[in-house]
């Protein structure tokens, strides 16, 4: 595995850990508002991000690359409201999608086809990540962020359970 790819993968590991941090910060915001279902959704999301980072970490090691963990940036703690949080989530995921696509492109230019095959899982996962955030934006907009509708949405989101990412189990 060449240095360019090694550096790019280490950078992506950092971004995935930052994603986990960001969603934990959002979970704490919801928890403080007593929105336990929303907080649960974000806690599960944070665990999934940890898996995304570990998938890349494992791939680097498997290929004889050097893992270099960097500092994790401080996530925001100032969130306006529920809609704002899911809009920020979508923007963040769009940014991650861009980074995954750049990595995929790099695997082509560097002719690293093992990496390219591995990254397909991430390309597909990002489609789901963006769709999930968009769905929540739409639901909050349709139902409104108050009263009984908020209670019902919170209850729906409390049902989300963490399942280890298949990139770690296959
Ligand atoms: Fe690891 Fe939410 O993408």
Q: At 110, which CATH number?
A: 1.20.1260.10
- Over its length of 170 residues, how does the chain's per-residue pLDDT go in tens digits? 899 999 999 999 999 999 999 999 999 999 999 999 999 999 999 999 999 999 999 999 999 999 999 999 999 999 999 999 999 999 999 999 999 999 999 999 999 999 999 999 999 999 999 999 999 999 999 887 678 889 999 999 999 999 999 999 86
Look at residue 146 and give its three-state secondary structure. coil
Pocket lining: 19 vs ligand 1, CB cutoff 6 Å: yes
How far apart are the C-alpha atoms of 44 and 50, rounded to whole Å?
Answer: 10
How far apart are the C-alpha atoms of 86 and 29, rounded to whole Å?
Answer: 12
How far apart are the C-alpha atoms of 168 and 162, rounded to whole Å?
Answer: 13
How far apart are the C-alpha atoms of 129 and 49, rounded to whole Å?
Answer: 10
Pocket lining: 20 vs ligand 1, CB cutoff 6 Å: no
Within 8 A by CB and 6+ apart from 17, the residues are 49, 50, 53, 69, 72
Nearest CA to ligand 1 atom 1: 49
Pocket lining: 154 vs ligand 1, CB cutoff 6 Å: no
Q: For ligand 1, what atom is nearest to the CA of residue 16?
A: 1
Domain that holds residue 60: 3-168
Global pTM?
0.96
Pocket lining: 59 vs ligand 1, CB cutoff 6 Å: no
- The separation between CA 120 and the C-alpha centre of its own chain, rounded to angstroms, equals 16
Question: Cα(145) to centroid of ligand 1, in Å?
Answer: 25
**Distance between first and last Cα of the chain:** 22
Orientation of helix 147-157 relative to helix 113-143, angle to 10°: 150
The total of structural domains in the chain comes to 1
How far apart are the C-alpha atoms of 150 and 143, rounded to whole Å?
Answer: 7
Give the residue from 142, 136, 150 showing the smallest Cα distance to 44: 136
Pocket lining: 129 vs ligand 1, CB cutoff 6 Å: yes
**Structure-block tokens of residue 42:** 């974000």
Tens-digit pLDDT profile for residues 40-81? 999 999 999 999 999 999 999 999 999 999 999 999 999 999
**Structure-block tokens of residue 152:** 């019902």
For tokens 């989300």, the residue is 160
Pocket lining: 16 vs ligand 1, CB cutoff 6 Å: yes
For tokens 């209670």, the residue is 151
Orientation of helix 82-109 relative to helix 113-143, angle to 10°: 160
């Amino acid at each position: 595995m060449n240095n360019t790819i090694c550096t790019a993968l280490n950078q992506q590991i950092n971004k995935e850990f930052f994603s986990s941090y960001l969603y934990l910060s959002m979970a704490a915001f919801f928890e403080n508002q007593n929105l336990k279902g929303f907080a649960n959704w974000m806690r599960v999301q944070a665990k999934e991000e940890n898996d995304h980072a570990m998938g890349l970490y494992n791939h680097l090691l498997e290929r004889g690359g050097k893992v270099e963990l960097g500092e994790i940036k401080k996530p925001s703690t100032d969130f306006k409201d529920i809609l704002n949080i899911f809009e920020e989530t979508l923007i963040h995921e769009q940014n991650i999608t861009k980074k995954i696509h750049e990595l995929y492109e790099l695997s082509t230019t560097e002719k690293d086809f093992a990496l390219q095959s591995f990254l397909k899982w991430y390309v597909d996962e990002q489609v789901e990540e963006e769709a999930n955030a968009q769905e929540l934006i739409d639901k909050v907009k349709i139902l409104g962020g108050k009263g009984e509708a908020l209670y019902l949405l919170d209850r729906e989101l409390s049902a989300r359970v963490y399942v280890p990412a298949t990139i770690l189990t296959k």
